[in-house]
Amino acid sequence: MAISTDLWIKVPAPFFGVETVGFSVRYALDLGEDQFADVPFFVEGEAGLMGRLIRQLRLFPQRDRFVDCRAAGEAYSWTDPISLSDEVVVMAFRDQSLSQPATDPVQAVRNRLINQMVPLAFPFLRDCVRVAGLKLNSWISVRIASDQVAEIDLSLPVGHIVQGNGVRALAEL
């Protein structure tokens, strides 16, 4: 029997020096399901900045060139970003924990749990740094809510989300 609840995550201004670009994700936490469906991310902001950002987001489906995707917690991929307008881009997180060949069953279980339990904003933010080289703000505001729990507003230092930080400011691309 699957237990389901919707989870909403909003990250209003994660990029260094930019207050007008953010992203949101909403997905069902279906505990007991075999695998997540693709989970859409909506990235929104000022048209000029979004044009710069989508060029960087196009690297995400090739993340295996930048990240060891066999490592613990890396069993996911991204779809190609699609511009819905000059100010909105959508792309999706894909859970790969059950589709990758498991040479180590313990790591396969670990990857599955990580993909189910870590808020999906964090892989996106990590890949903004590791794949796209983007510099994030030193503190990241993350708002999490569900249909059963009131909104939680977290403010985390970027070092708690990703080791290091990018060097390329979105506004300067």
State the Cα–Cα distance between residues 146 and 151, nearest whole angstrom: 7
pLDDT score recorded for residue 86: 98
Q: What is the DSSP letter of 37?
A: P
Asked whether residue 33 carries a pLDDT value surpassing 60, the answer given is no
Residue 156, strand partner residues:
140
pLDDT score recorded for residue 158: 98
State the Cα–Cα distance between residues 120 and 93, nearest whole angstrom: 8
Q: Write the pLDDT tens digit of every residue in 49-85.
A: 999 999 999 999 999 999 999 888 898 999 999 999 9
Residue 93, strand partner residues:
39, 78
Question: Cα dist. 35→13, 39, 61, 71, 150 in Å?
Answer: 30, 11, 19, 19, 26
Query: How distant is the alpha carbon of residue 158 from its chain centre?
Result: 14
Provide mean pLDDT across the span 140-165: 93
pLDDT score recorded for residue 1: 45
Asked if 59 contacts 132 with a C-beta cutoff of 8 angstroms, the reply is yes
**For residue 10, what pLDDT band results from cuts at 50, 70 and 90?**
very high
Percent of the chain whose pLDDT exceeds 90: 66
Residue 92, strand partner residues:
40
The residues spanned by each domain of the chain are 3-172
Asked whether residue 29 carries a pLDDT value surpassing 60, the answer given is yes
